[in-house]
Amino acid sequence: MADASVRGMLTLDELRQKVESGEIETVVAVFTDLYGRFLGKRVTGEFFIQQTAESGMHACNYLLTVDMPMEPIPGYKYASWELGYGDFHCAPDFKTLRMATWLDKSAMIICDISDEKTHTPVSVAPRSILNKQVEEAKKAGYLALGASELEYFIFDETYKTAREKSYNNLNYFGDYIEDYHILQGTREEVLNAAVRRHLMNSGIPVEFTKGEWGPGQHELNIRYADAVTIADHHSIYKQCFKEIAHQLNLSVSFMAKPDDRYAGSGSHIHMSLWDPEGKTNLFDGDKEIGPIHSSDLFRWFLGGWITHTRELMPFY
């Protein structure tokens, strides 16, 4: 069940009470596609309590074979027009049940995807891949902790007007470099403050926001957690940001380089390995690596990342 000690997280009993009182009318049940986008259904609170909570829901397996505009791509071994499309099963993970305070009378839950017949995890689903790696790390005696650090541009455009301009010559919510700039940051609080507040009230601890190098460019940092939790938070963070921007007739982009005139936006991934209880950082040690001291485990971990940089690049 959800960690009730974190503001905004819900247990199933708490959700039931909020549905009965009318505080919650909709449960947004989601999973991520291959691009990290949330797909899923908006389930009425009553039906979620009566049916979905125990039995889950279904969605079409073509959703793991689409391109960005949502057109199916031919040639996948998992599902295709030649093989035929079917459904997969979406099982709610109640550790992720939370308020979604930026949406009207809504809660949110993330689902794991499994085969409809065998009920085994769908191996190509992003959360299945991560869960498998976390289990392998656990078998080796490691707990993976991490955080993502996202930068983004804010535009004084709606998503509709940006599309009508073919995403060229957009109006930035800022006119100059705003790295650590408090005055320009104040002007952008209409969005950034709203996101900080709603994330905090929806089970995602926030550290801070700050200006970045480009006009209208900012970053918002959230607290580290175990690998699966931080991946969930990463996706919720982006969904929340985009939807609040839409509500404010603004738009936001996390693209690496939306405009070649300005600095790009980073997606910094911070990772470390700890003992299973999460008390000891296993990267700490007395081996000298240039100006730092670390463990052999850190050297091997870093070497693995460097070795596989090419394979990791599609994820950026």
Domain that holds residue 267: 143-282
Query: Is 22 inside a domain boundary?
Result: yes
d(CA 105, CA 109): 14
Task: Indicate the pLDDT class of residue 4, thresholds 50, 70 and 90.
Answer: low
What pLDDT sits at residue 313?
A: 81
Residue at which a domain ends, from 80, 105, 131: 131
What DSSP character marks residue 50?
I
103 shares its domain with 150: no
pTM above 0.85, yes or no: yes
Report helix, strand or coil for 168. Answer: coil
Q: Average pLDDT over the chain, rounded to whole?
A: 95
pLDDT in tens, 13-27: 999 999 999 999 999
Report helix, strand or coil for 34. Answer: coil
123 shares its domain with 175: no
* CATH number assigned to the domain comprising residue 103: 3.10.20.70
d(CA 72, CA 78): 12
pLDDT in tens, 69-118: 999 999 999 999 998 899 999 999 999 999 999 999 999 999 999 999 99
What pLDDT sits at residue 1?
A: 41
> pLDDT exceeding 90 applies to what percent of the chain?
91
pLDDT in tens, 188-199: 999 999 999 999
Give kind and range of the element (H or E) at residue 157: none
pLDDT in tens, 270-293: 999 999 999 999 999 999 988 989
161 shares its domain with 68: no
Task: Say yes or no to pLDDT of 2 above 70.
Answer: no
What DSSP character marks residue 67?
-
Task: Say yes or no to pLDDT of 155 above 90.
Answer: yes
What pLDDT sits at residue 146?
A: 96
170 shares its domain with 221: yes
Query: Is 241 inside a domain boundary?
Result: yes
Task: Indicate the pLDDT class of residue 316, thresholds 50, 70 and 90.
Answer: low
Of 276, 297, 275, 302, which Cα lies nearest the Cα of 286?
297
Number of domains making up the chain: 2
* CATH number assigned to the domain comprising residue 172: 3.30.590.10
- CB under 8 Å, gap of 24 or more: what pairs does 228-235 form? 228/127, 228/130, 228/131, 228/134, 229/95, 230/145, 230/146, 230/147, 230/148, 231/126, 231/127, 231/130, 232/96, 232/110, 233/148, 233/204, 234/36, 234/148, 234/150, 235/32, 235/36, 235/37, 235/38, 235/110
d(CA 274, CA 231): 18
Residue at which a domain ends, from 80, 101, 131: 131
